[in-house]
Amino acid sequence: MTRNSDGALSFPVAVNRLPSKGITVKIDANEKEREALRTFHELEDVKSFKADLQIVPWKKDGIRVRGTVNAQIVQACIVTLDPIDATVEAQIDTLFVPENSRLARPPLDENGELVISAEGPDTPETFTGDRLDAGAIAEEFFELAIDPYPRKPDVVDAPPVVVSIGDDDGSEKPANPFATLKDWKQKT
């Protein structure tokens, strides 16, 4: 595996002559690769990163990638910035076709309009050449499975900050935030 400009891991796999039963790719990131993952994804630490992928032919010239990504990471709590240990588990099931494949074109109805169904299957992704980057695929699903707002379980939300407008004369503040504007007059 090597450093990739689009991510931290790269593990190219030749897919032009896949056996019918496919191939298995196992990725177990070493210390240098985990450091690259930590830096690229702005994490406190990546203790482990493992991917187990099955790459098989799909239809005439497509590729199906299935598998799992498991990682142990440390993130910063969004409230306290304290470190939080987290487990990342991602299931992978995605399709790829060459960029010139007719399967890569979005489906059209009888009027020639684009058909998109939120409940329907995803359109296969495209690739160029004769290689797929299994490391980049695993890393993409790893990133999607990371909690974007990690929070320690015992942390309570901070009380809202109250900002008063006008003089602080000790009198009771109006309940309506716009009540202080009722006597405001624009100078012309």
DSSP 107-133: PB-TTS-B---SSSPPPPEEE-TTEEE
For the cut 80, the answer to whether the pLDDT of residue 4 exceeds it is no
Collapsing DSSP to helix, strand or coil, 179 comes out as helix
pLDDT at 108 over 80: no
Sign of CA dihedral 168, 171, 175, 180: negative
pTM tops 0.85, yes or no: no
pLDDT given at position 3: 38
Residue 103 or 50, more confident: 50
DSSP letter for 181, please: G
pLDDT score, position 18? 87
- Tens digits of per-residue pLDDT, 69-80? 999 999 999 888
Report how far residue 152's alpha carbon sits from residue 108's, in angstroms, rounded to the nearest whole number. Answer: 47
Residue-level pLDDT at 8: 81
Instruction: Give the model's pLDDT for residue 2.
Output: 40
CA distance 184 to 178: 10
Rounded CA-CA distance 131/17 in Å is 10
Q: How confident is the model at residue 146 (pLDDT cuts 50, 70, 90)?
A: very high
